[in-house]
Amino acid sequence: MSQENVEIVERAITAVNARDVEAYLACCTPDIELHTPLVAVGGLYEGPAGIRRFFADVEDAAPDFHLHVESVRPVGDALLAFLNVTATGRASGLPTGTPTANVYEFADGKIRRVRIFADRQQALEAVGLSE
């Protein structure tokens, strides 16, 4: 795993926190896939239009949504990031802090697929590891 891939992920996370969709898309391949834990109810975002929808969904649900990086480590050709998500629900007004794990896969020096896991053990298993 190259340092460039770590830097790409760091730029992508910074773009999410800044709500800068164009900067995020600059880190991704044109056929980017973003899989959230809610895939069964619309949690799959594909291509630039899907990523724009993801940013709009985040803003609509929790305008103060923020990703905090705990650790990033290479696993084969992928990168595993442990994150903490903080947000206040727009409807509930309740603050949350949720540990998550993202698995980033790359193609042509850009992010090709992101899989977000609410359960870190599932993320470890997805990349062939266990704690």
pTM: 0.90
Query: How many Å apart are CA 115 and CA 76, to the nearest integer?
Result: 15
What's residue 95's pLDDT? 61
pLDDT at 67: 95
Which segments in the chain show pLDDT lower than 70? 1, 38-42, 90-95, 131
Q: Decide if 51 contacts 36 (C-beta within 8 A).
A: no
pLDDT score recorded for residue 41 = 46
Q: Could you say which of 3.90.230.10, 3.40.30.10, 3.40.50.300, 3.10.450.50 is the CATH number of the domain covering 3-126?
A: 3.10.450.50
Q: How far apart are CA 120 and CA 59, in angstroms?
A: 24
Supply the pLDDT for residue 107. 96
d(CA 58, CA 44): 13
Domain ranges of the chain: 3-126
Contacts of 74 (CB under 8 A, 6+ apart): 1, 5, 6, 80
